Amino acid sequence: MKRKKNRTTGRKLFVVTAAALLAMTMASMLSGCGNQAAVDIQTESSDGLISVAFSEVGAESDWRVANSESMRTTFTEENGYEFYFEDAKGKQENQITTLRNYILQGVDYIVLAPVVETGWDEVLQEAKDAGIPVIVVDRMVDVEEEDLYTAWVGSDFKEEGDIAVEWLEEYLEEQGRADEEIQILHVMGTLGASSQLGRTEGLEEGVAVHDNWEIVAQLQGEYTQAKTYEVVSEYLAGSTDIDVIYCENDNSALGVIQALDEAGISYGTDGDVILISFDATTVGLTACLKGKINLDVECNPLHGPRVEQIILQIEAGETPQKLTYVDETYFTPDTLTEELIEERGY
């Protein structure tokens, strides 16, 4: 659907040119000496387009790349949007700077995929004061006042962890290993990110109710293949007594596979170590289909259309639902086919 160009609602986008910035700087310098210089700020209308400014975590994983792509393909000019994108390279301070720039630009909407949950109150207050709705996607923000953001859409990460624990329980039962000592190596994602917190909570709760399950170590894989490969290889050099590796995303699972291959340890459906992963991206599911990953819990990254729904509701004067959880499932080698992986498209 092509949006009307003569949009009258919403705020206009003001572009402060370099010349205007210089003029403003000179004006403030001169005003200190009692003079006033005329400041000529050039303004440009957004041509009826809705400006949507996105602050993305980074490009640490296949999930993340699919998420960025979903935003890009949703907020096109053809669909009526002017889209701004900034990659924070995994750093919250970069996101705060980006948000401040977006506020200064006076964009219509800010979309934030926060690296971590805490530390957002101040900048979100600034956005609120400027009257810019902030839509949070994927990970959550933990703020004092809930009205500092307009809406959130993402996954129930604790539920994802619970799914993994329940599956493991049943799998061990089927294998006649329900009463065996089970040593679990836990590879965590980015510390303080909702996805890490929820998936970790799910596992820790599961371990707490199984006397024979034990977490032998918690390593920081930071959701990347490279970091996970490094920390897991280091761990395996000291101990290989592991029954399960719980990796908090697919790219970490690839790092684990690389480290296990090098160490000559078998894994997956025909191996010694049970591999659990999250995301269900093409790379993860392909490894799962081959039996290398025993379980891949889905986490859907295609949030672009969901964010657009929220924006369209606000544009129509409606109040969007505060929290929207995406329905998710899980995959095992016996439930997967190549067609299914292809259809998913990420």
Which residues of the shown chain bind ligand GYE in the complex (CB under 6 A)? Answer: 60-61, 63-64, 138-139, 193, 195, 223, 249, 278-279, 299
How many whole angstroms separate alpha carbon 340 and alpha carbon 346? 11
Least Cβ distance, residue 69 to ligand GYE (angstroms): 14
Tokens of 337: 């086919």
Residue closer to ligand GYE (CB basis): 82 or 160? 160
Residue closer to ligand GYE (CB basis): 126 or 230? 230
Residue closer to ligand GYE (CB basis): 172 or 276? 276
Residue closer to ligand GYE (CB basis): 58 or 206? 58
Q: Write the DSSP assignment of 89-124 as a string of letters.
A: TT-HHHHHHHHHHHHHHT-SEEEE--SSSSS-HHHH
Please state, as a whole number, how many other Cβ atoms lie within 10 Å of the Cβ of residue 29: 11
Least Cβ distance, residue 209 to ligand GYE (angstroms): 25
Least Cβ distance, residue 247 to ligand GYE (angstroms): 10
Residue closer to ligand GYE (CB basis): 46 or 196? 196
Contact 245, 273 (CB under 8 A): yes
How many whole angstroms separate alpha carbon 136 and alpha carbon 232? 32
How many whole angstroms separate alpha carbon 294 and alpha carbon 148? 41
Least Cβ distance, residue 223 to ligand GYE (angstroms): 4
Contact 76, 83 (CB under 8 A): yes
Least Cβ distance, residue 63 to ligand GYE (angstroms): 3
